[in-house]
Structure formats: C-alpha cells, structure tokens
Structure 1
Amino acid sequence: MTDIVSAEWVLDRPDVRIVDVRDAWEYDGIGHLPGAVNVPFDAYRADAHEAEGGEGSAGMLPDEGEFEALLGEAGISVDDHVVAYDDTHGVFAARLLVTLELFGHDPAKLHLLDGDFSAWQLEHETTGEVPEPAPTDYAVDPPAETPLVDADAVSAAAESGDAVIVDTREQWEYEEGHIPGAVRLDWQTLVDDETRGLRPEDEVREILTERGIVPEERIVLYCNTARRISHTYVVLRHLGFEDVAFYEGSLTEWERQGRPLETA
C-alpha cells in the first residue's frame, strides 16, 4: 500500500530510490535531495490522453516501452523502494507513484514524501551533485486488476449507490456539471500550506468524513487531471482505505456517451 513518509524516514533509509519529478532546470539549478534522480513530470505524462481526457479505461498512462526506458535510465529497479517528491505539495509526485502501481510496481514499495522540496530544504541538506546510477532493465508488468475503472463501472456505481463518487475538481468545475450524486473534495484541502505536507491525520479524516468518505465505503474518484486524482488516491490508501478506484475519462466524453450530469 502506497504510504506517505517523513523526511526522517527517508534519511534513515539510504537504500531507497529518491525521485525528483520537477523540471530539469529546477533539479539542476535549484538543487535536490541528496541521491535523488530526476524523472520530470512531463516525461511520464500522456499528452494525447490529457488532451482527450483519458478516454476509456486506459486512463492517462504513458507508453509502456517509453516508461520502461525512462525508469531504466534513472537506475530504478522493479524491486526498489521508491520515494517521490516535487515542489507542489506532492501532487505531481503522486502521479508517478500511481503510474508505477498501475504498471505493476509493488504498492508497498511506493512512498510519497510528506511535504515537498521547499519543506525539505528548510531543515535538511540539499545538493547540486547529480548521481550517475547504473542503468536497469525496468520491466512493466501490469496486474490483472488495477484501481483504474471505465465509465461503465462508474455509472453502475452511481446508479446502484454502492459507492461514494468523489469529484476532485475545483468548485466551478463541479458546479458546471458533475456525475450524479458525486461529492466534491479539493485535494488542496488535505494539505497544510505551512508544512506543505499532509494535514494532521485527525483533521484529514474529519474533512473526509464530512463528505461521507469513510474507510467502510467503496470510493470511486474522478477528475480531469491525473495528478489531482492521484494525490487523493495516495492519501486515501495511506489512511488505510482498502476499496478505492478512479476514473480518468473526461466529462466531455461522459456526456458524449449519453450519460447524465448534474449541475449545482
């Protein structure tokens, strides 16, 4: 299960693979965590799917071969524990972790740094030294079942009422149209602007419970950007939610298929 880890956790484990997903100019020019390799967000996003809203059940995943080459060049092995971070409260780093999980990396070996680069550098060392990892033969091996679901599955869950449908978009997007019965959860409400990491667990659980998002329920997330939905997914899994799925198709495609929307 993907979890969220502290800076101290990272410092105590020199064998983990630390991945910085910021742009290369930030990684090189501003500095990075010691030992971190750079895998920029744009290198593993799927622009075509982003433009179309991630149609169908394929979601917004990059090409498997390109992803294998990217991870291999960064010296990451399928057996590695991976810690990812960015400088935006973890929302971009979370997408790398979800992509790894969907491509078969053991979720128990995937970790999101609590906080981001700005939070780290306030108390810990950074460096401009770039590591030279030995290349690996990273092999994608998607599991038979993943949390990624298609529009039919979301529609069935909404109609049956056997899941809490969660819209992770902004308020104006939600008001213009959302899946019937969906509750809204802005991923940014779960993070603390001062620490740049996750709010205290009791506060996060209170925010979730107010919206009916509790561990006993099946949760189905959707959004129009992969990074926002990924951050929410990682937080829920970190908190012990067992049954969490997500849909990465656009609501434009949803309507094109003749499916209803509600407005607020």
Structure 2
Amino acid sequence: MDDSVIVSPDWLAARLEDPGVAVVDVRDAWEYDGIGHVPGAVSVPFDSYRDETADDPGTLPGREAFEELLGEVGIEPEDTIVAYDDSNGVFAARFRLTARAYGHEDVRLLDGDFSAWNREHETESGSPSVEPTAYTAMPFSFAESPFVDRPGVEAAIEGDAVLVDTRDPEEYAEAHLPGAVRFDWRSTVDDETRRLKPTGELEALFADRGITRDREIVLYCNTARRISHTDAVLEALGYEDVSVYEGSLTEWLATDGEIETGSTA
C-alpha cells in the first residue's frame, strides 16, 4: 500500500511532531470536542467543504471557500495533510479528493478511522493553537484534477473503459450507466480492524468486477464520499488511469443520458 496516499496509524504517530504534517479531523465538531481527537488535529467538519450551490462541479465548495477553510486552521500548501473520520475513512476520503481538486499535492488518508487510531494510540481533547495562514489554492480544472466531465464519461462509455458504480444494489438495479459494474466500497474494509483489507484481497475484489490496471477506470455515484474512498484505494494500489465523475447519476438522468437497468451477478 502506497503511503503517499494512505498511511497507517503507526506512520502518523511517528510524525505528529513534524511541523510539516497537518492532521485534519472531518467529524462533526461535537465529536472532535466531546470524544477527543488525534493529538494536534484540527477540525474541518465534513459539511464545511461541500457546497451544492458553488460554481464548481458537484459539491465542490469553490476555490475561495476552500482557501478560507484551510487558512483558518493554519494549513500551508506545502504541508502533508492526513485526514481521518470515524466512518472507515469514507468522509475523510472526500476531503482528500476535494483538496486534490484545488491543487494540494500531498494529502493522504489515514488507514482506518478514529476508532482504529484510539485502539493503539493516545488522543487528546481541546483545540490546538494554530496560526492562520493565507492559504492559496489552484482554480478547479478538469485537466489538472482527478475529475472527468460529461463528455469524458460519454467517451469512456464508447471506449474500453470500465465504469464503476459505487451506489447501493437497489440504486444500481434501478438505473446505471451503460456497461457499468457495481462495486461496494465497504467490501475493502475489515469490519474487525476497521482498516483496509490486505493488498491481495483488495486486488481480488477489484479484479472480480473487471477493474484492472490495463483499463481506464471511471468512478461515479450519487454521494461523492463513496467514489472518493474507492479512488484513494485504487491509487494506493498503483492503479494509474482512474478518474471521477463529479456529476451524480441523478444529474445524468435529468439530461436524458443513456442508462441501463437491472443487476449483475
């Protein structure tokens, strides 16, 4: 597993004193304050970095809003960000993908979540003292981000790409993009440890759905959390040709996009 994408709790514990490492807790503020958090972590709740009314695609919050958000908690563009939640990483993965959309080069996901961290490492209460920064983000660009636009998805449908639907089985059966396979992001997580399954098991899970390194991979769903998590796992495993469609299937249907129905084995 590539630790430039997903890091273990031990990796993070060894670097908590590093001034270039910024730990971001995306749980609700009451969880951060009332339950405790990773030492030194700053609070950036999930709802603060999503906005359906912003000009950028999907729920991306917009460049200026993202700059203000990270500047308030003292993050610099050069920092190594490690994000976590308490939901097996799915909300934190969305933060990671959002940061990548605005040009932050080094942003990683904690393998597991707060509960996994809490089993082996200390936590703290209270908020750390931070010095606000003038954080500068890049404007959103399809060409410079992991995202693909509607024409890109249409081209993928016509080509040899594998389209990956991360929604629930009932949603998939009702309607999905032509040729899409369904993948459950939760299948990548070990229920007991709350961390990702071993590499070999992950590889087998993807291969079973036809998701292989020799094909272009396009991820989509109706909640960007699920594709964000799958994107992070694929990247950590070394899959290189992976993109994310930020528009939901609901938006696709609203513009009379081609679909299929029914379930797969």
Q: Which residue of 1 is the match for residue 9 of structure 2?
A: 7
**Greater shift in the superposed pair: 139-148 or 205-214:** 139-148
Find 2:171's aligned residue among 157, 161, 173: 173
Q: Which residue of 2 is the match for residue 73 of structure 1?
A: 72
Q: Which residue of 2 is the match for residue 52 of structure 1?
A: none
Render the CA deviation track for 1:68-92: whole Å, top value 9, x for unaligned: 1110011100000000000000000
Q: Which residue of 2 is the match for residue 119 of structure 1?
A: 116
Q: Which amino acid aligns with 2:210?
A: G
- Which structure ranks higher in relative contact order (CA pairs < 8 Å, sequence separation ≥ 6)? 1
Q: Which amino acid aligns with 2:226?
A: R
Calculate the aligned-residue CA RMSD, in Å. Answer: 1.6
The answer as to whether partners of 2:74 and 2:131 remain within 8 angstroms in 1 is yes
Q: Which residue of 2 is the match for residue 98 of structure 1?
A: 97
Q: What secondary structure is seen at the aligned counterpart in 2 of 1:111?
A: strand
2:11 and 2:219 mapped to 1: Cα distance?
Answer: 29
Q: Which residue of 1 is the match for residue 135 of structure 2?
A: 138
2:125 and 2:196 mapped to 1: Cα distance?
Answer: 27
Q: What secondary structure is seen at the aligned counterpart in 2 of 1:48?
A: coil
The answer as to whether partners of 1:167 and 1:174 remain within 8 angstroms in 2 is yes
Aligned sequence identity (%): 57
Indicate whether 1:238 and 2:236 are aligned.
Answer: yes
Q: For residues 174-193 of structure 1, what are the structure 2 equivalents within 5 Å?
A: 174-193=172-191
Q: What secondary structure is seen at the aligned counterpart in 2 of 1:82?
A: strand
Q: Which amino acid aligns with 2:222?
A: N
How many correspondences in the alignment?
A: 255
How big is the shift at 1:179? 0.3
Find 1:24's aligned residue among 11, 16, 29: 29
2:197 and 2:161 mapped to 1: Cα distance?
Answer: 25
Q: Which residue of 1 is the match for residue 226 of structure 2?
A: 228
Q: Which residue of 2 is the match for residue 40 of structure 1?
A: 45
The answer as to whether partners of 1:34 and 1:129 remain within 8 angstroms in 2 is no
How big is the shift at 1:251? 2.1
The answer as to whether partners of 1:59 and 1:148 remain within 8 angstroms in 2 is no
How big is the shift at 1:11? 1.4
Q: Which residue of 2 is the match for residue 87 of structure 1?
A: 86
Q: What secondary structure is seen at the aligned counterpart in 1 of 2:154?
A: helix
Q: Which amino acid aligns with 2:83?
A: A
How big is the shift at 1:20? 0.4
The answer as to whether partners of 2:84 and 2:109 remain within 8 angstroms in 1 is yes
Q: What secondary structure is seen at the aligned counterpart in 1 of 2:147?
A: coil
Q: Which amino acid aligns with 1:224?
A: N
1:26 and 1:47 mapped to 2: Cα distance?
Answer: 24
How big is the shift at 1:213? 0.6
Q: What secondary structure is seen at the aligned counterpart in 2 of 1:66?
A: helix
Find 1:164's aligned residue among 142, 158, 162: 162
- Give the TM-score normalised by the residue count of structure 1: 0.92
Go from structure 1 to structure 2 and tell me whether the alpha carbon gap of 1:253 and 1:129 turns closer, same or farther (over 3 Å shift). closer
How big is the shift at 1:122? 1.2
Write out the 4+ residue segments of structure 1 that deviate beyond 3 Å after TM superposition: none
Q: What secondary structure is seen at the aligned counterpart in 1 of 2:50?
A: coil
How big is the shift at 1:127? 0.6
